[in-house]
Amino acid sequence: MGRTRARGISLEEDGSRTVDKVWRGRRIFARLGQVSQQEAEDWLAAEIGRRTTKQQGRGSSRPLFADCAARYLIESKQKRSAEVIAWHIDLLLSYIGAIQIDQIHDGTLEDFKEDRLGGGMVVDGREPLKPATPTTVNRSLEVVRTILNRSARAWRNEAGRPLLDMAPPLITMLPESRRPPYPMSWDEQDIFFPELATHLQVMALFGVNTGLRDENICGLRWKWEVPIPEVGRSVFIVPPEDYKTGVAHVAILNDAAWSIIEGQRKKLATDDRKDKNTEYVFTYRDHKGDHRIDTINNGGWQRARAAAGIPMMRVHDLRHTFSSRLRLAGVPQEDRNALMGHGGASMPEHYASADIGRLIEQANKASARQGTRTLLRVVNG
């Protein structure tokens, strides 16, 4: 028995076709006999349509997943991750959007997980998605978990009752194989960065000299800049709503990072085009205009790391590289915490210009190639 191109339809040895598919947690099974592939697909589509109509016509007051997802989007619109949440919901809606909230469980998500891992999923007519990692699929499942939990514990209907009047089912996460941090060596940086497009090269260099995360580099705004005349340069204060820990972070600029900021400032000042983007520090111009870069991890980044022979290099490893170089240069833990913006770091004491000057000196040690100790990577497995 072999599978045909439509998932759930099998071609038997005698040339007949069988439908055996789990749809929304329920099995659809039928032996269709000697029919064509198109006839089998038409039968399956019609059966799914019939079951959908039946489900929607039950007259139950239970809200659909799509209704609850819309409520979650409204509540999340001020979050840093609002766009990411909306993306995951878009992926989920065609699979479980029309299912009542009390009917969602692991079984109703099987098709979604299988299609996401296998690749080829199409959303809103866009290009088919590439196969996703278990980690990426789990981010979507976490959105489902959150919506179910809020439906059971926080949200109420007009009668004041929970939208889900039962304990939310456990949505099982896929097993993940997390890669360990991969701080770059100087030799790897010398090979890798020239492979990047100019605008990505500038952003990557800024990353290894500030330790900022991808979203903070891409989202860095000029209005966050605060001049410190006593030290002859500025800092950028990333507000709590834009920083992962929920606490404002003072981004310290060593000499290399400051040179990049001055270069971006000069580039902006000499750009006399009316549609130039004056909000973000790092922008990219294409046929649609001058806009913010959504992520450093695009096709150009992926091609460059492959060409450099370090395909395991992630954008977040720029941050690991900065941290590793600070540590190898002997920068004290307290200062490393402040420079990295770790959750336990206390930044108000560093607002004083003297402290900022000292932190700049410490941050400069991350760009000094001489005097650092050997980097030894230990990779498990």
Q: Which residues does 102 contact at the CB level (< 8 Å), separation at least 6? A: 62, 164, 165, 166
Instruction: Report the SS3 class of residue 100.
Output: strand
Distance separating alpha carbons of residues 41 and 10, to the nearest angstrom? 11
pLDDT of residue 202: 95
pLDDT of residue 345: 47
DSSP 271-326: ---TT---SBSSEEEETTEEEE-S-S-SHHHHHHHHHTT-TT--THHHHHHHHHHH
pLDDT of residue 43: 86
pLDDT of residue 123: 74
**pLDDT tens-digit series, residues 98-130:** 889 999 999 999 989 988 998 878 776 678 888
**pLDDT tens-digit series, residues 36-88:** 888 888 888 888 777 776 665 554 557 899 999 999 998 988 877 888 899 99
The sign one gets for the Cα dihedral 81, 83, 87, 89 is positive
pLDDT of residue 375: 43
Q: Which residues of the chain have pLDDT under 70?
A: 1-6, 23-26, 53-61, 124-125, 343-352, 370-381
Q: At residue 129, what are phi and psi to the nearest 5 degrees?
A: -75, 150
Q: At residue 78, what are phi and psi to the nearest 5 degrees?
A: -90, -5
Distance separating alpha carbons of residues 243 and 217, to the nearest angstrom? 11
Q: 75-96 burial, b for 16+ CB within 10 Å, e for fewer? A: ebeeebeeeebeebbebbbebb
Give the closest residue to 143 by CA, choosing from 74, 92, 97. Answer: 92
* pTM metric for this prediction: 0.61
pLDDT of residue 31: 86
How many residues can be counted in the chain?
A: 381
